[in-house]
Structures are given as C-alpha cells and as structure tokens.
C-alpha cells in the first residue's frame, strides 16, 4: 500500500516505522514538505530513496494515487492540511492536536461532517494495555460506577516546550492542546460520558525571565550553572533545544489545572506540570467508584485496584510496550486495516474534535476566570 506524507517530521516517521513493521507491504511513495531537499538528501540511502517529493500537499494529492495519507506538519497546519484530504475519501492519519484555535476547529468539524475520508487521530494512550485494562476492570463492575476522577501529568521532559519551536504559542495553541488533549481523550474514552463544562487555571512561575529574545544556551554566560542549559548536552539535544528557556520570548504556561463536569454531575480534576524532573515524573489517573478505586501510572507500568469495603489491593504489572507505551503499534495496525477497508478508526476524528474543544474551552476559562460550556 502506498503512503503519502504531508509534513515528514520525527513523529510521523516513527508512526510509519510502526506501520511498516506491522505490514512490510506498506511503503512511502510521496512526501510533501517545505524541507523536501533536506529530507531527500538525508534519506537517499534508506527507504526514502524512491519517494516522490512535492513542494505542496495539493501537488502531491493531485498527482499521486495513494492508499493512505499521514499529516505530521507543525500543529497550526493540521486543520488546513486535513481539509485538503477529507473530500478525497483517502484514509487519513492526523496528528494531534487536530486544531489550535476555535475557528480552525469549527472548519474541521464541518469538513469532517461533509467529507469522505475516514480519520484516525494520533491518540495512542487510549489504546495502551494499561488503559484497556482499566476499562476492563471498570466494565466488570468491581469498583462500582465511576463518580470521581483525579488525573495528573507531571512531565519530566518539559523543557521541550520552552527550548525550541514549541515555545511559540501561535504554533502550539498552548499546553492543554499539546499534552492534556491526550489525557482528556483517554478519560473521555474510559468514562463514556459527555463533558458539559470546564474551568481551568494556568501559571507561568518558572520559565520566564529577562534574558534577550532569541538567546541560545551556547551563547549565555550562565550556561555552566543553569539547570536548564542545553549547551553541553548531546549534539541532537543541543541542536533540537537551542534556546534559553528564561528569555523574554519564552511562551507557554509551565503548569495548568482543569475541572471538568460531566453529564451525570460527576467531575474530573486534572493537573499538568512542566518543570518537575527525573523520578518526579508521573502520568496517570485514579478512577473512583463507591466499591473501590482503580489507579494507574504510565511511568511505573502498574495498575492497582483498592477495594473500599474489604482489605484487598490488587496490583497488575503491565508490559509497557514501546513507543507511547505500546499505543503507537496499535494505532499503526488499525491504520493499515483502515486502508484495507476492514476496520473503522479506533480513535476517530469526532473524539479528536471533542478533546480539542475541551482544551480550547479550558484555555478560554483560564484566560477569563469563567466556567465554559462544552458546546460549539
């Protein structure tokens, strides 16, 4: 099967590796990317040597006969590129966030409702072995109906959002859209309930300062004492994360929290942080019913069930898998089956739209100090 790529970056190349691992008959035949010459030169001795390169997505779509398309551009272009694909009826793998602002999100919703393509959104967390086990335990009734959720994402590699292009909020749409979109998605998928309103708050307490805009770590006189300096990191980190995270042009909040009310009246509390490091990293949730609590953490690869009325705790150790805790492999397999016409997307665009809507409403709530209804 022939794959076309719009925006060939590190994330999409990793997904394609998983696709080819699952089905070696899949191959990249076309790439549309503004950096096509660099990609072609770097890939001339590997799987990209026979690929057709294009300046624009339109040129590729009008020329090639493709079985599937993957979009891996920068975030602000996800909607624009998806709208070019949707009318063509070609299966689409779309990176998250699906949109970075409300105008684009409404346009994408309309394009989805009138389009022909099936869309798989890059939400690997919902299909990990850990989350699937949590869903199984909850479905069994062991802990009762879920009436409260506490979720966290303490990101030990948070420097990525302050050292390179991710620091530009015009590109990212803010860190709810960058990280919480994954967490909101798996929570929605586990609960199978409709979110009705959200309130949120963000803080920028650490990654701010008066260093000159555009300052690079290698040029800073404090690069030997700064805990965030990348001046002496390995070459790939040094080149990928070049900028001072304490400069006046460093964007993004460094922590944020949200409360989400669902249709039954229950609510979820969620908090994310981007300046913890090393063993302080954690990502997971507690789902609480009257009979018991089930919790998990992607970093420990464990699921625990605490029974409330009997002295019993069950612990499950989970094989973490590889990329995104094994979720990428599952998405890749599903996309191949979508191209063959034998499966529907397991993380469809409708869910991607809802998660992005939640994130944008949380962002608006934090900006205005108001509750926001989850509506279009």
pLDDT digits (tens, 9 = 90+) for 126-153: 999 999 999 999 999 999 999 999 999 9
Strands in 52-54's sheet, in edge-to-edge order, are 52-54, 27-32, 2-6, 68-71, 92-94, 119-121
- How many angstroms separate the CA atoms of 120 and 57, rounded? 19
**Cβ atoms < 10 Å from Cβ of 224:** 9
pTM for the predicted model, two decimal places: 0.95
DSSP states along 209-233: --BPTT-BGGG-TTTTT-TT--TTS
Of 33-47, 91-105, 203-217, 355-369, minimum mean pLDDT range: 33-47
Where residue 62 sits, what CATH number does that domain have? 3.40.50.720
Percent over 90 (pLDDT), the chain: 92
Where residue 134 sits, what CATH number does that domain have? 3.30.360.10
Tally the domains of the chain.
Answer: 3
Residues 306 and 181 both lie in one domain? yes
Residues 194 and 272 both lie in one domain? yes
pLDDT of residue 41: 67
pLDDT tens by residue, 171-199: 999 999 999 999 999 999 999 999 999 99
At 94, list the tokens: 């779309």
Residues 152 and 179 both lie in one domain? yes
- Domain of 338, in residue numbers: 2-122+328-347
Residues 35 and 86 both lie in one domain? yes
Map tokens 């390179």 to a residue: 164
pLDDT of residue 322: 80
| 91 in Cβ contact with 339 (< 8 Å) | yes
**Cβ atoms < 10 Å from Cβ of 97:** 30
Residues 71 and 116 both lie in one domain? yes
Residues 299 and 340 both lie in one domain? no
Residues 291 and 229 both lie in one domain? no
| 164 in Cβ contact with 157 (< 8 Å) | no
Residues 113 and 34 both lie in one domain? yes
Reduce the secondary structure of 17-83 to three states and give it as a string: HHHHHHCCCCEEEEEECCCHHHHHHHCCCCCCCCCEEECCHHHHHHHCCCCEEEECCCHHHHHHHHH
Write phi, then psi, for 71 (nearest 5 degrees). Answer: -110, 120
Residues 77 and 111 both lie in one domain? yes
Map tokens 């191949």 to a residue: 336
Average pLDDT over residues 18-46: 85
Domain boundary among 250, 277, 306: 250
| 68 in Cβ contact with 3 (< 8 Å) | yes
What mean pLDDT value characterizes the chain? 95
Q: How confident is the model at residue 44 (pLDDT cuts 50, 70, 90)?
A: low
């Amino acid at each position: 099967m022939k794959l076309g790529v719009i925006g060939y970056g590190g994330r999409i190349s990793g997904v394609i590796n998983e696709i080819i691992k699952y089905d070696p008959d899949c191959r990249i035949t076309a790439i549309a990317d503004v950096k096509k010459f660099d990609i072609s030169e770097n890939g001339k001795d590997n799987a990209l040597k026979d690929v057709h390169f294009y300046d624009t997505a339109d040129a590729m779509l009008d020329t090639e006969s493709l079985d599937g398309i993957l979009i891996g551009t920068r975030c602000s272009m996800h909607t624009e590129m998806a709208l070019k694909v949707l009318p063509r009826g070609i299966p689409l793998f779309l990176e998250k966030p699906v949109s970075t602002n409300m105008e684009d999100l409404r346009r994408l919703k309309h394009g989805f409702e009138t389009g022909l393509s099936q869309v798989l959104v890059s939400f690997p967390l919902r299909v990990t072995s850990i989350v699937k086990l949590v869903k199984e335990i909850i479905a069994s009734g062991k802990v009762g109906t879920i009436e409260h959720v506490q979720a966290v994402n303490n990101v030990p590699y948070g420097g990525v959002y302050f050292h390179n292009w991710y620091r530009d909020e015009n590109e990212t749409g803010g860190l709810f859209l960058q990280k919480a979109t994954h967490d909101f998605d798996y929570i929605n998928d586990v609960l199978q309930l409709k979110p009705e309103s959200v309130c949120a708050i963000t803080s920028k307490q650490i990654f701010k300062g008066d260093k000159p805009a555009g300052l690079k770590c290698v040029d800073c006189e404090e690069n030997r004492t700064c805990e965030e300096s990348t001046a002496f990191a390995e070459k790939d980190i040094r080149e990928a994360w070049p900028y001072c995270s304490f400069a006046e042009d460093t964007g993004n909040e460094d922590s944020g929290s949200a409360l989400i009310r669902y249709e039954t009246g229950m609510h979820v509390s969620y908090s994310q942080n981007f300046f913890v490091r090393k063993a302080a990293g954690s990502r997971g949730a507690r789902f609480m019913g009257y009979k018991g609590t089930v919790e998990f953490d992607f970093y420990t690869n464990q699921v625990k069930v605490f029974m409330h009325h009997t002295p019993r705790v069950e612990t499950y150790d989970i094989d973490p898998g590889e990329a995104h805790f094994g979720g990428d492999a599952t998405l890749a397999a599903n996309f191949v089956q979508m191209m063959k016409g034998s499966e529907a997307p397991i993380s469809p665009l409708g869910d991607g739209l809802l998660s992005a809507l939640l994130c944008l409403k949380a962002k608006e709530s934090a900006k205005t100090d108001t509750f926001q209804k989850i509506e279009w």
